[in-house]
């Protein structure tokens, strides 16, 4: 499982950077919301960092999951 995260980031950048649309995009406000959610948990800087990472991964997964569901519905209505 080594390099899973760097590979995923590389794949994301290849697919979505400079694509001319905001599909699958993350926004500056997303960073702020992750930071705020992690700070609410408290526990010091190290805990906040790990909470931020966990929150970002969970949110990113759900954003991707919802996009996949929308894409699936779009494909089904085109048939």
17, two tokens: 């950077």
The answer to whether 23 and 1 have CB atoms below 8 angstroms apart is no
* 41-63 pLDDT tens trace: 888 888 889 999 999 999 989 98
The answer to whether 1 and 11 have CB atoms below 8 angstroms apart is no
* 12-46 pLDDT tens trace: 888 888 777 777 677 889 999 999 998 988 888 88
pTM for this predicted structure? 0.71
7, two tokens: 């590979």
37, two tokens: 């959610």
The answer to whether 64 and 55 have CB atoms below 8 angstroms apart is no
């Amino acid at each position: 499982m080594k390099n899973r995260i760097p590979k995923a980031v590389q794949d994301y950048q290849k697919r979505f950077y400079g694509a001319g649309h905001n599909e699958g995009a993350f926004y500056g406000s997303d960073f702020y919301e992750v930071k705020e959610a992690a700070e609410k948990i408290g526990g010091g800087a190290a805990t906040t960092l790990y909470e931020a990472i966990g929150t970002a991964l969970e949110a990113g997964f759900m954003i991707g999951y919802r996009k996949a569901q929308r894409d699936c519905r779009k494909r089904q209505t085109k048939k």
